[in-house]
């Protein structure tokens, strides 16, 4: 193909992959899809610099060829799957740390660096990037921005947009733009164009570099698990301790199904269930961090408040420590935990709606009902708190999916769609950490109404030919193709 020959001439043969065996691995991510649904690109490119990406996009623009950029391919809804072939830009070859500025607590980094690599680079300065998803060893900076994924520490620090100060992108016309406010933490100047990048899924351009805000590493951290009679009680407890002035670093509410997911390893090891009350309908994992004495005081006060809600502390530290290891360090005992060894037979599939604070428990029961309706094995609900110092839910409504079964994958998608639309009836949103992808694109107007037209005009401004990750957010036909 002519455009592939031009790519070779522009960036070098060693940066262009055309072997079908190599292309195949770029045709899927962690979303449930059958082997028949793998969509390899026509060519994969391995850029080193922004200039490389600019050359690539210029060629794609001239030929009208689709461009999909991706990182670690850990997305759970197909956001980086090149549905229409074309050029796949593997950004993981762009992972340089451009600058660490400890005095101003910022970092400039290429978009292909993993979130773990970022923290490895800034740790010697006593700083860290608190945006920490479980996939941080493979999730890249660019992908974290483009998907707007979750973080373990969202209730304290928020999501990636709270850390993003500025970003460089290559638009769909090949123009290089810097969006943001450099090293200042906020601005009232101009429109906040950089905010458009969060959850944009590469539909506006390819993110090449980013300036991120860092935080001082806390001295110590204390983690606990508390069980409640109802999920609503866990929400009320969190509201109460925030009212008390306690500064939570991490908080995750799990339903009783998800609790079994986390205690699986304990039962396998000891041959018995852990000593957790049978009445426990919800599990709250919570962490405090800071100076040692202050952390202990806040943690102890939180436990005292929990008694007001007839809640109980999980006493088996092995379960607590195991959960924290799996959530934060990703340490696993092979074949003892359902995640990730289960992925060889069934995949972890989820819907990611968001609902108002007071309707979590009601929506949880709807999740169980809808999963049962579509005959899917329930993993459970995890309610991540992702808004700084307040209660704002990002939900993972998870089920197991046999990705080899076309029927089960179809039933999962029906489950996903039904739950996403149901969230709107709850005055919520269809997506909180997976973004829209092609799954929600056909019915996005249900959430956004007439404002969707304005979004499409913004898309056309950045990408007039509709070549940037086509089919995501908007149906292909809506992009003028």
Can you read off the two tokens belonging to residue 52? 């490389």
The pLDDT, as a whole number, for residue 421 is 98
Q: Could you report the per-residue pLDDT of 57-93, keeping only the tens digit for each?
A: 999 999 999 999 999 998 999 999 999 999 999 999 9
Per-residue pLDDT of the chain (481 residues; tens, 9 = 90+): 899 999 999 999 999 999 999 999 999 999 999 999 999 999 999 999 999 999 999 999 999 999 999 999 989 999 999 999 999 999 999 999 999 999 999 999 999 999 999 999 999 999 999 999 888 888 999 999 999 999 999 999 999 999 999 999 999 999 999 999 889 998 999 999 999 999 999 999 999 999 999 999 999 999 999 999 999 999 999 999 999 999 999 999 999 988 776 676 677 777 777 778 889 999 999 999 999 999 999 999 999 999 999 999 998 888 888 778 777 765 555 444 554 455 567 888 999 999 999 999 999 999 999 999 999 999 999 999 999 999 999 999 999 999 999 999 999 999 999 999 999 999 999 999 999 999 999 999 999 999 999 999 999 999 999 999 999 999 876 665 4
> How far apart are the C-alpha atoms of 179 and 193, rounded to whole Å?
6
- Distance, CA of 373 to CA of 356 (rounded, Å): 24
Question: Cα–Cα distance between 252 and 385 in angstroms, integer?
Answer: 6
**263 CB-near residues (< 8 Å, 6+ apart):** 273, 274, 276, 319
Q: Could you tell me if 174 and 54 are in contact, meaning their C-beta atoms sit under 8 angstroms apart? A: yes
In the chain, the N- to C-terminal Cα span, in Å, equals 21
pLDDT for 267 equals: 74
Cβ(86)–Cβ(70) under 8 Å?
no
Locus of tokens 């960036």: 11
SS3 39: coil
Contacts of 302 (CB under 8 A, 6+ apart): 224, 241, 246, 286, 288
What DSSP element (H or E) covers 265?
helix 256-270
> Do residues 136 and 421 make contact, with C-beta atoms less than 8 angstroms apart?
no
Angle at 83 between CA 77 and CA 88, to 5 degrees: 100
């Amino acid at each position: 193909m002519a455009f592939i020959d031009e790519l070779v001439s522009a960036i070098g043969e060693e940066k262009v992959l055309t072997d079908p065996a190599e292309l195949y691995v770029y045709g899927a991510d962690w979303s449930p899809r059958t082997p028949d649904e793998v969509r390899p690109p026509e060519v994969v490119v391995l850029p080193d610099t922004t200039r490389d990406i600019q050359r690539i996009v210029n060629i794609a623009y001239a030929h009208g060829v689709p461009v999909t950029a991706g990182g670690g391919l850990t997305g759970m809804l197909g956001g980086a799957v090149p549905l229409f072939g074309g050029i796949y830009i593997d950004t993981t070859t762009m992972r340089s740390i451009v600058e660490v500025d400890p005095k101003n607590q910022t970092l400039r980094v290429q978009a292909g660096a993993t979130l773990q690599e970022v923290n490895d680079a800034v740790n010697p300065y006593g700083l860290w990037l608190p945006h920490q998803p479980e996939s941080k060893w493979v999730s890249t900076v660019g992908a974290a921005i483009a998907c707007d994924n979750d973080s373990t520490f969202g209730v304290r620090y928020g999501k990636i947009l709270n850390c993003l100060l500025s970003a460089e992108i290559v638009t769909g016309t090949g123009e290089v733009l810097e969006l943001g406010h450099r090293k200042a933490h906020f601005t009232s100047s101009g429109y906040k164009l950089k905010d458009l990048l969060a959850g944009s899924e590469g539909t506006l351009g390819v993110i090449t570099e980013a300036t991120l805000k860092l935080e001082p590493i806390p001295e110590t951290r204390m983690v606990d698990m508390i069980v409640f009679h109802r999920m609503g009680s866990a929400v009320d407890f969190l509201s109460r301790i925030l009212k008390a002035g306690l500064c939570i670093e991490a908080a995750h509410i799990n339903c009783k199904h998800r609790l079994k997911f986390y205690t699986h390893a304990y039962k396998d090891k000891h041959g018995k269930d852990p000593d957790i009350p049978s009445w426990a309908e919800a599990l709250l994992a919570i962490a405090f961090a800071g100076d040692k004495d202050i952390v202990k005081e806040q943690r102890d006060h939180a436990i005292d408040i929990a008694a007001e809600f007839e809640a109980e502390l999980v006493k088996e530290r092995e379960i607590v420590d195991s959960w924290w290891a799996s959530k934060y360090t990703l340490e696993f005992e092979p074949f003892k935990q359902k995640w990730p060894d289960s992925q060889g037979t069934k995949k972890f599939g989820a819907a990611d709606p968001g609902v108002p604070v007071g309707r979590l428990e009601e929506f949880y029961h709807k999740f169980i009902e809808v999963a049962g309706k579509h005959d899917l094995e329930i993993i459970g609900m995890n309610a991540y708190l992702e808004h700084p110092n307040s209660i704002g839910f990002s939900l993972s409504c998870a089920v197991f999916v046999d990705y080899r079964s076309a029927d089960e994958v179809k039933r999962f998608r029906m489950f996903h769609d039904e739950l996403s639309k149901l969230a709107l009836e709850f005055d919520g949103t269809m997506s909180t950490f997976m973004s829209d992808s092609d799954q929600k694109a056909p019915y996005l107007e249900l959430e956004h109404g007439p404002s969707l037209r304005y979004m499409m005009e913004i898309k056309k401004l950045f990408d007039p030919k509709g070549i940037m990750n086509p089919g995501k957010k908007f149906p292909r036909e809506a992009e003028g193709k």
